[in-house]
Chain A
Amino acid sequence: MKIVVTSEGETLDDSIDPRFGRAGKFILYNTETKEVQAVDNSESLNAAHGAGIKAAETVSRLGVEVVITGNCGPKALSALEAAGIVVYTGVTGTVRKAIEALESGRLSSGHSDEIEGSRR
């Protein structure tokens, strides 16, 4: 299964970016192969309007099944849902911790307070 975590940097040890549409990077992670890839989000970052919608399209084209982020607006959420993607919001801490939490079933859809990490 492929998942995306919004990130402020390009590695698993960077913090989760609290914004979905205007996230710095998307960390694409494959739970089977453990492969990690940082995906550019500059098109949405620079969009005057509809950044979240554009980001949802970018993410859905990566073929992911799960998105983990801080906040996700209603338009982006409906685009992600249309693509059949499960969204976890309210997640903080590092990307690595978020992935671990997902894999051990400690994330609940909607929000999670179980992730340790530095709050901004």
Chain B
Amino acid sequence: MTIAVASGKGGTGKTTVAVSLALSLEGSVVLMDCDVEAPNSHIFLHPIIAGEENVYISVPRIDESKCNGCGECSEICQFNAIVVPKNKPLLFLELCHGCGGCAMVCPKGAISEEKRKIGVVEEGWGMGIHSIHGSLSVGEPISPPIIKKIKQKQNTGETVIIDSPPGTTCPAVESVRGSDYAILVAEPTPFGLNDLILSVEMVKKLAIPCGVVLNRWDDERTIIEDYCLNEGIPIFLKIPEDRKIAEAYSRGVALIDVIPELTTAFRELIGRIKKELSSQTGKVEPSCTNLL
């Protein structure tokens, strides 16, 4: 079973929930930190790193002696990573998504492909959890290839918890895609609600059922609860606004180590998700497949 922990807004508590969820579960668990621009779940698990693998994308290399300056490569590039001003090609490799289109259309065979490193994936074990995280190299803008590499590293029989990046763009879609269930972590603020709505739309498009964990909850701010009630989205857990949680987080201590009774709550949460999933008839194919 694969469960993605996601949110539209950043800083709502995805890592807090993902780490404590992973620690609460019985059996073999892998926590995949797919927030490769700022991975942090390993800070809580203290894994001993057993292996690392570089992640590359294929980028064009141009043999200028063969190039006739026709500009076909520039024409096909959707990201303007290759342009031909004044009959001479110019590359902006950090914009290249590695599709290989330019090499394919070049009538002179002047373009070959070479590998370019964009980041690294590290894996290890900490606190009984198989921990995998990726890091995008500084200055690199394209993270989905690293997320894909992380997701390939699952061992058979493991329950997968994915700590997703915030937002609803390519990195978030790539992280959540293919999961059995999405836990959306939300905070009761107007921004929190706005971005929760965007996340709900994203997982709907990916045909992934979802439920909410409400963080920084208090009695007075009910905008998330009102929305979920209206939309029929279950709220699994309400984590109270509590300074000691934030203090523990800043020291790299997991939520369930501060409030141990939440361990039961997280186990019940998984139980409810399993029940909800088993009552469904077959998995629906995602309606959105053309995203990088």
Which residue of B is nearest A50, CB measured? B80
Q: For the complex, count residues of A whose C-beta is within 8 A of B.
A: 19
A6-B248 Cα distance, complex, nearest whole Å: 54
Contact with B along A61-78 (1 / 0, CB 8 A): 100000000000001001
- Check A56–B83 contact: CB distance below 8 A: yes
| Size class of the contact patch on chain B | 10 to 19
Q: Give Cα A81–Cα B81 distance, bound, in whole angstroms.
A: 16
Q: Does B235 contact A (CB under 8 A)?
A: no
Q: How far is the CA of A82 from the CA of B74 in the complex (A)?
A: 15
The answer to the question of A54 belonging to the interface, with a C-beta cut-off of 8 Å to chain B, is: yes
Q: Is B277 an interface residue (CB 8 A)?
A: no
Q: CA A54 – CA B74 in complex, angstroms?
A: 9
- Is A53 in the interface zone, CB < 8 Å from B? yes
For B86, the chain A residues whose CB sits under 8 A away are: 60, 82-84
A57 at the interface (CB under 8 A from B): yes
A120 within 8 Å of B by Cβ? no
Residues 88-105 of B, flagged 1 when their CB comes within 8 A of A and 0 if not, give 101010010000000000
Interface membership of B84, Cβ < 8 A: yes
Alpha-carbon distance between A47 and B80 when the two chains are bound, in angstroms: 9
Q: Is the interface of A mostly helix, strand, loop or mixed?
A: helix
Whether A49 sits at the interface, judged by CB under 8 Å, is yes
B-contacting residues, A10-54, CB 8 Å: 47-51, 53-54
Beyond A49-B95, A82-B90, is A54–B83 a contact (Cβ under 8 Å)?
yes
Of the candidates B71, B84, B88, B95, the one whose C-beta lies within 8 Å of that of A50 is B95
Contact B83 A79 (CB under 8 A): yes
Please tell me if the beta carbons of A57 and B83 are within 8 angstroms of each other in the complex: yes
With a CB–CB cut-off of 8 A, which chain B residues contact A78? Answer: 90
Q: Is A80 an interface residue (CB 8 A)?
A: yes
Is the pair A79, B81 in contact by a Cβ cutoff of 8 Å?
no
Pick the contact of A60 from B79, B85, B92, B95 — CB < 8 Å?
Answer: B85
Q: Cβ of B84 and Cβ of A57 under 8 Å apart? A: yes
CB pair A50–B90 under 8 Å, yes or no, is no
Which residue of chain A has the shortest Cβ distance to B97 in the bound complex?
A49
Query: Which residues of chain A are near B95, meaning CB under 8 Å?
Result: 49-50, 53
Given B71, B83, B88, which contacts A53 in the complex, CB threshold below 8 Å? B83
Most buried by A among B80, B90, B92, B95: B80
B92 touches A75 (CB 8 A): yes
Can you offer 15 A-B residue contacts whose CB atoms are under 8 A? A47-B80, A48-B79, A49-B79, A53-B83, A54-B83, A57-B84, A60-B85, A61-B85, A79-B83, A79-B85, A79-B90, A80-B85, A82-B85, A83-B86, A84-B86
For the complex of A and B, 4 pairs with smallest distance between CB atoms: A50-B80, A60-B85, A83-B85, A57-B83
Chain A residues at the B interface, C-beta cutoff of 8 Å: 47-51, 53-54, 56-57, 59-61, 75, 78-80, 82-84
Q: Which residues of B contact A (CB under 8 A)?
A: 71, 74, 79-81, 83-86, 88, 90, 92, 95
